[in-house]
Amino acid sequence: MRPREPIADFGSAVARELSFDPRLARRLRAEVEDHLHEALEDRGDPHGENRLAEVMCAFGDPRAFARQFLATAMLSLARRAAAVTALGVIGMFGAMEARAVWYGWVNWPVSDHVRAANAIGHPVDRFAFALAAAFALSALAYVITRRAPARFYPTFGWEIGFCIKLNAAVALALMSAMVTELVLTGVRLFEADLDARALVPFVSLMLEIAVAGGSMSYILIMMSRCSRALRLAP
């Protein structure tokens, strides 16, 4: 057997263990493969199977190797999740404000139906958005104050899980705010003449849907990656 195949297999094993963080997995796979090839060349007889086994033994087990990155990789996942949901809250706020300013600027007519819908919808919308902002701030503060330990321990896994759940709460609250806005803007647009003035509410609503949907999808991906990462935990 040529040495390249076992080394590639070793690299694949490392990448598989780190599949919860594809960027890190790709990088480490290339680094590990380069390392093993060079170590083999250094020891002479690159086609000798004993040499190959010796090189791999000196490097260590792929799972144990991958485990050393678990704490930092999980913290990085949590930080990315917190950053994305925080950006989601800002994006949502921008879209909502832009629409409100536009309604005032064009003197958008407010019918009784719209007024009635707003009376119920606005408090719900505000509450959901305030909740999202509060959770996002808490998640950010929580994740910023965490430090990756040298070795992963179960409590750290719980802390990262808690942070991801906080971000899931942000995404859920953003979804609720978005659905309320969808209904309120829908009522408004339904009753108005659809001309160029409707473009701003329509585009801002699309933006909100994209932001809330994007945040939710991202958090679901992070949750799945986190649970995959925890399988590597000792």
Partner 1 sequence: MEGEMLKGHLDMIVLAAMVDRPAHGYGVIQEIKRRSGGAFDLPEGTIYPTLHRLEKAGYLASHWTTAESGRKRRVYKMTRRGERALSDHRTLWQRFADAVGGLFGEKAHAPARTHR
**Residue 59 or residue 102: which is nearer to partner 1 going by CB?**
59
Distance CA 105, CA 128 (A): 26
Name 103's Cβ contacts closer than 8 Å, sequence gap at least 6.
188, 201
**Residue 11 or residue 201: which is nearer to partner 1 going by CB?**
11
Say how far residue 179 (Cα) sits from the centre of its chain. 21
**Cβ of residue 38: shortest distance to partner 1, in angstroms?**
5
**Cβ of residue 29: shortest distance to partner 1, in angstroms?**
10
Tokens of 15: 């990448």
**Cβ of residue 150: shortest distance to partner 1, in angstroms?**
8
**Residue 27 or residue 113: which is nearer to partner 1 going by CB?**
27
Q: Note the residue count of the chain.
A: 234
**Cβ of residue 157: shortest distance to partner 1, in angstroms?**
17
Tokens of 146: 């965490």
3 state SS of 183: helix
**Residue 21 or residue 208: which is nearer to partner 1 going by CB?**
21
3 state SS of 68: coil
| Residues of this chain that bind partner 1 (CB under 8 A) | 27-28, 30-35, 37-39, 41-42, 58-60, 64-65, 68-69, 72, 148, 150
